[in-house]
Structure 1
Amino acid sequence: MSDGPHADLDPALVSTRSVELAVMALLLCLAIFLGWDNWRLGAGWAPDGPQPGYFPFYLAVLLGGASLWGIAAALRSEELREEIFVGRSAFGRVLRVFLPTIGFVLLVQLIGLYVASFVFIAAFMVFVGRLAVWKSLLTGFVFSALMFYVFDVQFNVLMPKGPLEAAFGF
C-alpha cells in the first residue's frame, strides 16, 4: 500500500501484481536465454571436469524455476491484485529523476564525462531542486573539476572525454 496522508488521492498507475508478473516474465526470458547459451557451450561433464556452461546452465535452471514459482504465486495472490505499486504523481516524480539520468548517459557519449556531469548536476539542481542558477553552476563546476583532478590527474584513470578536454590537450 502507498504510504502518506495523500495516498488515496493519487490514482493507481499500476498494481504490484502486474509489476511482479512483468519482472518474473523478464527473468524467465533471461533464464531461457542463459540456459540455451550455456547448453550451447556445453553444460555436461567432460572427462576432465565440468564443461564451460555447466554451472551457469544450472544457475539459469534455478532462475527459471524461481521465475515460474514467482509467476504462479503472483497469479494466485488476491492481495497483489489490489495493491498499488505506484501512483500517477509518484511515477511522475520518478520520471523527473530517471529521464535526466538517461540524458546524462547519452551526453557522456557525446561530450565526455566531465562536461556531461557539469550539465547534469547544474540542470538537475536548477530544474528539480529549484536552486539558484549561480549555486547550481558553481556546484556543477566544482564537482566536475574535482572529479577530473581525482581521476585524471591523481589516479590517471581513463575516463570518457569529449571535444572540450581534447581542446585542452587531454
Structure 2
Amino acid sequence: MSNDPNAEVDPALVSTRSVELVVMALLLAVAVFLGWDNWRIGAGWAPDGPQAGYFPFYLSVLLGGAAIVGIVSVLRSVDLRDEVFVGRSAFGRVLRVFIPTILFVFLVQVVGLYVASFVFVSLFMIVIGRLSPWKSVLTGLIFSGLMFYIFDVQFNVLLPKGPLEAAFGF
C-alpha cells in the first residue's frame, strides 16, 4: 500500500482473511472426502503390506490437520482483518484474462485445439494487447502451425481436432 495520501485506492472486493478461510475450508473438505474414500477402499495394514488406501489416507489426515491449523491461525490473526486480497480494478483485469481462457476451453471442444489456439492468440493480442490485427493474426497462424507441426507431425501426439483438420485429412 502506498504512503502517498493522494494516491487512488482500489476499493476492496475481498479481504485476505476471507480468502484464506475459504481456501482452508475447501482443503479441509477435500481432506475429509479423500480420507473417507481411502478408508472405504482400505487404509489398514494387510498381511502382505499396506492396503491401497493406507498412504493416501494418512496424507489426507495430514492435509486435514494442516487445514485446521490454518483455519485457527487465520481466525486468531488480527493482521489479516483489513488486508485487501484483491481490489475491484485488479479483479477486473483478472477477469479479462480468465473469461477468454474459459471460452478457449469450450472452443477447443467445438473446433479443435489448433483453430481454437489461433482464435485465442489472435484475439487476445488484438483485444488485450492492443496490437495490430495483421501482426496478431500472423502470430496466431505461426503459433498454431508450429503446434501442429511439433505435436502432430513430429511427435504424433493425439490432440483434439475439429472439422478443419478433418477436411485436410488429419
* TM-score band, normalised by shorter chain: over 0.9
Q: Name the structure 2 match of 1:125.
A: 125
Deviation at 1:7, TM superposition (A): 7.0
Q: Name the structure 2 match of 1:145.
A: 145
SS in 2 for 1:80: coil
Deviation at 1:109, TM superposition (A): 1.1
Deviation at 1:3, TM superposition (A): 6.4
In the alignment of these two chains, the number of paired residues is 169
Distance 1:162 1:4, change over 3 A: farther
Distance in 1 of aligned mates of 2:2 and 2:41: 48
Q: Name the structure 2 match of 1:112.
A: 112
Deviation at 1:37, TM superposition (A): 0.4
Are 1:16 and 2:28 counterparts? no
The RMSD of aligned alpha carbons is 1.5
SS in 1 for 2:134: helix
Deviation at 1:4, TM superposition (A): 9.6
SS in 1 for 2:80: helix
Task: Give every structure 1 segment of 4 or more consecutive aligned residues whose post-TM-superposition deviation is greater than 3 Å.
Answer: 2-8
Q: Name the structure 1 match of 2:60.
A: 60
Q: Name the structure 1 match of 2:165.
A: 165
Report the TM-score when normalising by structure 1.
0.96
Deviation at 1:79, TM superposition (A): 0.7
CA deviation string 1:13-33 (max 9, x = no partner)? 000000000000110010011
Deviation at 1:149, TM superposition (A): 0.5
SS in 1 for 2:141: helix
Distance 1:140 1:128, change over 3 A: same
Distance in 1 of aligned mates of 2:33 and 2:3: 41
Distance in 1 of aligned mates of 2:146 and 2:126: 20
Identity %: 75
Letter in 1 for 2:119: V
Structure 2: runs of 5+ lacking an equivalent = none
Report the TM-score when normalising by structure 2.
0.96
Q: Name the structure 1 match of 2:31.
A: 31
